Amino acid sequence: MPPLHINDQTVIGLVDRLVEATGQTRTALVLAALDHFVADKFPQLKQEPAPAEPATEAELHAELERSLRATTLDYQRLKARQANKRMVGSRIYKMIADNGVIGTLAKLVERPTEGLEFLMEIGRLDLAAEELVLNQRFRRIIPDDLRNKAERNIRMAKAALAHRSR
């Protein structure tokens, strides 16, 4: 199924305000709104069941890559909004092509970054590579050393923010 693109600026503005107010991703927010609308206006339509856990590692890799790409896009939009620009670039897409999704995540969690601290400060840790690495859905394909680095980065970023706030 092709992605859904919404071009109406009023809708985009409302969704962005709701994202800021709730801290949810755009996708989660739109899905929740659609679920509410369908339940209220069209109770005869049933929600599709949650997707089953992927059976193969290849399916998990594909799902992880989709998640990383979606997270990257949300992060780019957030950074662009912060910089008051139309859009900011990302090297992640090329990294995925060159290194695969696990290799890209390994590079992203090699050390704590200012981006991780930024996401913590604004309460959007859901957009951090570390959160993807620690997601239990992908535990079968993410090596333990990557999970350990992600946990270390989060601890270090929290400590840096705590130190700065003193």
Q: Which residue has the tokens 């339509």?
A: 45
Q: Which of 28-37, 102-111, 117-126, 140-149 has the lowest mean pLDDT?
A: 28-37
The closest alpha carbon to 26, from 8, 12, 39, 37, belongs to 12
Q: Cα torsion for 75, 137, 93, 84, to the nearest 10°? A: 0
Higher-confidence residue: 5 or 20?
Answer: 20
pTM: 0.66
The closest alpha carbon to 141, from 81, 78, 86, 67, belongs to 67
Measured CA to CA, the distance from residue 64 to residue 72 in angstroms comes to 12
Check: CB of residue 54 under 8 Å from CB of residue 63.
yes
User: Which pLDDT belongs to residue 165?
Assistant: 74
- List the structure tokens of 84: 């008051």
User: Which pLDDT belongs to residue 65?
Assistant: 95
Give the pLDDT confidence of 37-90 residue by residue, as tens digits.
Answer: 777 777 777 665 555 666 789 999 999 999 999 999 998 888 888 888 887 778
User: Which pLDDT belongs to residue 11?
Assistant: 79
Give the pLDDT confidence of 26-46 residue by residue, as tens digits.
Answer: 777 677 777 767 777 777 776
Q: At what angle do helices 144-164 and 92-108 cross, to 10 degrees?
A: 90
Measured CA to CA, the distance from residue 143 to residue 110 in angstroms comes to 13
- Helices (H) and strands (E) counted in the chain, each on its own, are 7, 0
Measured CA to CA, the distance from residue 110 to residue 150 in angstroms comes to 8
For the chain, give every domain's residue range: 1-50, 55-164
Tell me how long the chain is.
Answer: 166
Alpha helices in 50-143 (DSSP H): 57-83, 92-108, 114-121, 129-134
